[in-house]
Amino acid sequence: MHGSRQCVRPGCGALAEATLTYHYASRTAWLDDLEGDPDPSVYELCTQHADRTTVPVGWNREDRRVSDAPLPHPLPTAQELLDIPLAV
Ligand SMILES: [Zn+2]
């Protein structure tokens, strides 16, 4: 745990890991890593809610977060798929 800032979604309470910023004039919403001091004009969200964030039709959603999560596993090759034993 690093800090006590929580996701703003009602009933969530998870640790905030991202920020959501809207700019109405350019119809853009940005997701950024949580950093710096709390800003009242910025929504702070947990990773799950940040990932689920959608924007209105006609808006741009820009995810600028730099994930430090491990890279997703590459898709298995056909040979690897064949090597997977069938679970019985
Ligand atoms: Zn949340």
Flag whether 9 is in a domain. yes
Q: What is the pLDDT of residue 88?
A: 61
- Residue 87 falls within a domain, yes or no? no
- Residue 80 falls inside a structural domain: no
- Domain assignment present for residue 11? The answer is yes
86 in a structural domain: no
| Residue 82 included in any domain | no
Strand order across the beta sheet in which 18-23 lies: 43-45, 18-23, 28-33, 60-63
Residue 84 has pLDDT above 80, yes or no: no
How many domains is the chain built from? Answer: 1
Q: Ligand 1: distance of its center to the CA of 46 in Å?
A: 4
- Could you tell me the distance, in angstroms and rounded to a whole number, from the CA of residue 88 to the centre of ligand 1? 38
Q: Which amino acid is at 17?
A: E
Residues within 5 Å of ion ligand 1, judged at the Cβ atom = 7, 9, 12, 14, 46, 49
pLDDT at 33: 93
Host domain of residue 7: 1-66
Is residue 78 assigned to a domain? no
Residue 84 lies in a domain: no
Residues 1-51: pLDDT tens digits?
Answer: 446 799 999 999 999 999 999 999 999 999 999 988 888 889 999 999 999
User: How much helix, strand and coil, in percent to the nearest 5, is found in the chain?
Assistant: 15, 25, 60
pLDDT of res. 77: 73
